[in-house]
């Protein structure tokens, strides 16, 4: 395979105060994207550019903010003739990946992200839960402990949900289940088992109430077949089948993010040039843990884009 480019898009947790401000000041197109997003989500620009942190980390601002910054960087890179042959995104980042591949326009993307985050917030209120990151253990050990606790009864529901990189797996579920899993996994010599500061048990069956309202909105939309393949979180494999993509977007709410598997599948196919688009360098860090044999560049600010020579 000749060198082909993979665009990767980060999810929630990669935000920082000031994200997108340099892009907004520099580019008329960036202003257009941010102003359109602001119409749909008032207060978004101020949250992204000025914070404070407790406002920016509200899901209603974080998710559309990350999506908007990612889309602007995607536009500016393509303008410099750096284009993807395939895309992938982590959780929320899947929406930036689908946008980049031409599945929907920017306004539709913002509205999808808004409806998804509202549905997830409501589900988290209905079914409170937690998430925790488990570091330094084999996936099988974590999976077995989660199954054992879940089998003890519904109050202990806990499942593996984010397969980030070798030795980094996030679990999600009921408060009691997650806390018990953390205690047990610490005795099994996990390097760290850390409860995460999130507002719900995302990607777990506790998010099921979010699926119906999200699907109802999705079904109304006129989406396009992607012009390049998109690697989907639920399968870890690429597709250009639109009905499959829509199905997997709904499933993603309650299914694990198979990130490590997605990247390994791309590497096996011979993809060597990877670019992380959007705030933060979360995916660049995960890539180092997955493989050091590939090229990885991160674009989160205007300076990063200006370094590209056409």
Considering the segment(s) 129-196 as one domain, its CATH architecture is 2-Layer Sandwich (3.30)
CA atoms in the 13 A half-sphere facing the CB of 82: 23
Residues 219-277: tens digit of each pLDDT:
999 999 999 999 999 999 999 999 999 999 999 999 999 999 999 999 999 999 999 99
* pLDDT beyond 60 at 123: yes
Q: Please indicate whether residue 37 or residue 59 has the higher confidence score (pLDDT).
A: 37
Distance, in Å, from the CA atom of 10 to the CA atom of 234, rounded to the nearest integer, reads 16
Q: Which of 91, 117, 165, 262 is catalytic?
A: 91
Q: Which of 70, 203, 204, 298 is catalytic?
A: 203
Whether residue 91 lies in the annotated active site: yes
Residues of the chain with CATH 3.30.70.250: 129-196
pLDDT for res 281:
95
CATH code of 5-125+206-306, in short, is 3.40.366.10
Whose CA is closest to 11, among 75, 51, 54, 67? Answer: 67
* pLDDT beyond 70 at 1: no
How do the residues of the chain divide into helix, strand and coil, expressed in percent and rounded to 5? 50, 15, 35
How high is the mean pLDDT of the chain?
95
Average pLDDT in the 145-156 region? 92
pLDDT confidence tier of residue 146, bands split at 50, 70 and 90: very high
Residues of the chain with CATH 3.40.366.10: 5-125+206-306
Dihedral-angle region of residue 275 (phi above 0 means left; psi in -120 to 50 means alpha; beta otherwise): beta
Count Cβ neighbours within 10 Å for each residue of 136-161 and write b for 16 or more, e otherwise: ebeeebbeebbeebbeeeeebbbbbb
């Amino acid at each position: 395979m000749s060198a082909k480019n993979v665009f990767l898009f980060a999810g929630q947790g990669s935000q920082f105060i000031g994200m997108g401000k340099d892009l907004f000041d520099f580019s008329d197109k960036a202003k257009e994207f941010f102003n359109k997003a602001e119409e749909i989500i008032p207060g978004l620009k101020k949250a992204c550019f000025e914070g404070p942190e407790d406002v920016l980390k509200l899901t209603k601002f974080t998710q559309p903010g990350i999506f908007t910054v990612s889309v602007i960087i995607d536009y500016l890179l393509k303008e410099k003739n750096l284009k993807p042959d395939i895309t992938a995104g982590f959780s929320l980042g899947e929406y930036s990946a689908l946008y980049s591949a031409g599945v929907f326009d920017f306004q539709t993307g913002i509205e999808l992200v808004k409806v998804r985050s509202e549905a997830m917030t409501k589900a988290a209120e209905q079914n409170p839960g937690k998430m925790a990151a488990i570091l330094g253990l084999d996936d099988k050990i974590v999976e077995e402990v989660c199954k054992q606790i879940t089998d003890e009864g519904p109050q202990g529901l806990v499942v593996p949900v984010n397969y980030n990189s070798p030795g980094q797996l996030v679990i999600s579920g009921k408060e009691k289940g997650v806390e018990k899993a953390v205690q047990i996994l610490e005795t099994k010599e996990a390097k760290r088992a850390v409860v995460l500061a999130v507002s719900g048990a995302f990607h777990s069956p506790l998010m099921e109430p979010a699926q119906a309202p999200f699907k109802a909105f999705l079904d109304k939309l006129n989406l396009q077949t992607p012009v390049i393949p998109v690697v989907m979180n639920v399968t870890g494999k690429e597709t250009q089948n639109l009905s499959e993509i829509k199905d997997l977007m709904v499933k993603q709410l309650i299914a694990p993010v198979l990130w490590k598997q997605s990247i390994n599948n791309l590497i096996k196919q011979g993809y060597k040039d990877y670019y992380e688009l959007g705030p933060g360098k979360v995916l660049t860090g995960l890539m180092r843990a997955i493989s050091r044999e590939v090229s990885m560049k991160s674009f989160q600010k205007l300076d990063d884009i200006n370094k590209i020579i056409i």
